[in-house]
Amino acid sequence: MKKIRKRNILKGIFVISLTTNLLMPVLINSVLAQNWQGAAKDLAQGSPIKKPSDIFRILAKVVQYTYTIFFIVAVIFIIVAAFNFLTSQGNPEKINSAKSQITWAIVAIAIALISVGAAQIIKAFITP
């Protein structure tokens, strides 16, 4: 029962992160479609955003930090899975659980790499 719940939580996190990564280009594109000229003139004097391209810079930093955190968490999961694998003492259930954890961590890393690559491709299409 505990294993099924843990697996459902991991699948939920996976689906949420995948959905977020797939929707990000659409959301950014909808922001770009707005009239930037009028919005850029109304920006506050003390704002770090002086021109529309600064928004992309801020979004890129957010994506970079999220990507870094994603990889750190994936590496931690791999270390925990390796520890579980080493301490399983031949118990097939624990060995299968550790293999599953490593598999999902590798899937998470692959999705992170794909999302960054997709973001770069989309950025190349959006920018003039």
Q: Kindly report the number of other CB atoms within 10 A of residue 21's CB atom.
A: 20
Which structure tokens are listed for 92?
A: 């097939």
* Per-residue model confidence as pLDDT tens digits over 58-77: 777 777 777 788 788 888 88
Which structure tokens are listed for 32?
A: 């770009």
Residue 79: pLDDT band (50, 70, 90) is: very high
Residue 37: pLDDT above 60? no
Delimit the domains of the chain by residue range: 2-126
Label residue 44 left, alpha or beta by phi (over 0 means left) and psi (-120 to 50 means alpha). Answer: beta
- Can you list the alpha helix ranges (DSSP code H) found in the chain? 2-32, 36-41, 52-86, 92-126
CB contact at 8 A, 123 and 28: no
Average pLDDT over residues 39-63: 66
- Surface-to-core class of residue 28, CB atoms within 10 Å of its CB (0-12 exposed, 13-18 middle, 19+ buried): middle
* Per-residue model confidence as pLDDT tens digits over 95-121: 999 899 899 888 888 877 777 777 677
pLDDT computed for residue 31 by the predictor: 57
Which structure tokens are listed for 109?
A: 């890393």
The model's pTM: 0.51
CA distance 128 to 123: 9
